[in-house]
Amino acid sequence: MAPKPRVIIVGAGIGGLTLAILMEKADIPYEVLERATEVKVLVAPLFKQLGIYEEFASKGKRNLLIETYNESRERSFIMDFEPVTEMGGYPGYIVPRSALHEVLLKQVPVERIHMGKKVLSVMQNESGSTITCSDGSTVEGDIVVGADGAYSAVRQSLYQQLKKDGKLPASDSEALPYSCVCLVAQTSPLDPTKFPELNDEMCLFKNVLAEDRPYSWATLTTKGNVICWGVTQYLDRESSKENDSFRNSEWGSEAADAMCNEVRDFPIPGGDGTLTLGDLIDNTPKELVSKVMLEEKVFSTWYSSRVVLLGDACHKIHPAGGRGAISAIHDAICLANWINVLPSPSVENIEKIFKYYKAERLPPAEAAYTFGRNMANVSARASV
């Protein structure tokens, strides 16, 4: 038997946890490093194989369509997703991201996840890789997987070295472009008498396109009488400049509060016909509201030597296409399969499997990027 590589997974998000579960199943030694001090309780065939499909389905509601409305709460058109069930063999579910994360987290032994590990640097050579964290600790392994999101510290460290060596494409040095900012949130359990749609066994996904202002917003009913909601603002050149001063992944609560105040009066369908986003905002804990940039980019460089990127770290996709989390999960499946057949943890062999991984995953990532961009353009044109 060839020696199994020691895998360091940076990031305990959906992609990172999926890869960790697959490493656990394949009996490949691994550790997960997560910069947060606690995990915030923010694919069907795979979940069947992992034995978690039933729990996953129990956390969500079936979804068959998206209803799109105007600001007068009049339905404009419907997108029917029932044919997708026939094509894929499994029904569609809407599950809060936090609930999915919780299901995945339970599958990884607690001793494998190390919290409060902010990565400062990644060093690699012929014998292995070493990660240095902000608390002064170091972690060694044969493979480092950057699954730490759009602002990946692993990618930044890797690109810094490649740029120094004159090996980084110019496009990878450019900032992630964006044309939207978004509020994403989920409420506390709500009163079904005020929000009767919660009584429906199906997920009711309702999208509103503004008529004379650059916004769209959506609500989705989920289990536990919770509504997930989001507001997208489409930016022009001037508003892009205003938001650019906050160009990082950790906007403070003040930014989210300010945007909440701006959109409180936006009408939402349902209830007694007078509901607004303010009714949801008032029932949403502040820690469950985030303001984020909807950045979009497929990077050219996915790996070098012993370091490889996964999910948002190598392809940031607009959420309008609904392919971000799925793409990260598919990355993890593909990468796990290649790691599982690694003949030996030499740099030559590792780079070879990384090459196959990118060749397999790049075309779907580019297609998901294009689809998300097209869907965002449709909403932007309808709202401006």
| Interval 301-351: pLDDT, tens | 999 999 999 999 999 998 878 888 899 999 999 999 999 999 999 999 999
Q: Are residues 253 and 219 in the same domain?
A: yes
Q: Are residues 27 and 137 in the same domain?
A: yes
Q: Which two tokens stand for residue 49?
A: 């194989």
Residue 74 falls within a domain, yes or no?
A: no
Q: Are residues 116 and 239 in the same domain?
A: no
Q: Are residues 281 and 300 in the same domain?
A: no
Percent of the chain having pLDDT more than 70?
Answer: 92
Helix residue ranges, H only, 43-198: 44-50, 53-58, 82-88, 97-105, 153-164, 170-173
Residue 85 falls within a domain, yes or no?
A: no
pLDDT (mean) for 124-144:
95
What is the per-residue pLDDT across 73-93, written as a single tens digit (0 to 9) for each? Answer: 999 999 888 887 777 778 888
Query: What contacts 249, CB < 8 A, 6 or more positions away?
Result: 149, 150, 151, 292
Q: Are residues 287 and 328 in the same domain?
A: no
How far from each other are the two terminal CA atoms of the chain, in whole angstroms?
A: 61
Residue 83 falls within a domain, yes or no?
A: no
Q: Are residues 319 and 277 in the same domain?
A: no
Q: Are residues 32 and 135 in the same domain?
A: yes
Q: Are residues 375 and 324 in the same domain?
A: yes
pLDDT at 119 over 50: yes
Residue 89 falls within a domain, yes or no?
A: no
pLDDT score for 238? 58
Q: Are residues 12 and 139 in the same domain?
A: yes
Domain boundary among 294, 320, 336: 294
Sign of the C-alpha dihedral computed for residues 338, 344, 345 and 351 taken in this order: negative
Provide the residue range defining the domain that includes 338. Answer: 7-60+95-167+296-383
Q: Are residues 12 and 154 in the same domain?
A: yes
Higher-pLDDT residue of 53 and 333 is 333
pLDDT at 42 over 50: no
pLDDT score for 242? 57
Residue 44 falls within a domain, yes or no?
A: yes
Residue 373 falls within a domain, yes or no?
A: yes
188-202, 266-280, 317-331, 369-383: range with lowest mean pLDDT:
369-383
What is residue 171's DSSP assignment? H
What is residue 107's DSSP assignment? T
Query: What contacts 134, CB < 8 A, 6 or more positions away?
Result: 117, 118, 119, 120
CA distance 298 to 281: 33
Q: Which two tokens stand for residue 53?
A: 């499909």
Q: Are residues 158 and 183 in the same domain?
A: no
Query: What contacts 333, CB < 8 A, 6 or more positions away?
Result: 18, 22, 46
17: region left, alpha or beta (phi > 0 left; psi from -120 to 50 alpha): alpha
Residue 2 falls within a domain, yes or no?
A: no
Residue 287 falls within a domain, yes or no?
A: yes
In order of 170, 240, 288, 318, the CA distances from 295 in angstroms are 18, 12, 21, 7
pLDDT score for 99? 85
Strands 119-124 and 129-133: antiparallel
Q: Are residues 212 and 254 in the same domain?
A: yes
Count of structural domains, the chain: 2
Domain boundary among 241, 275, 294: 294
- Kindly report the CATH number assigned to the domain that includes residue 333: 3.50.50.60
pLDDT at 61 over 50: yes
Domain boundary among 294, 318, 352: 294
Place 41 in a pLDDT band, splitting at 50, 70 and 90: very low
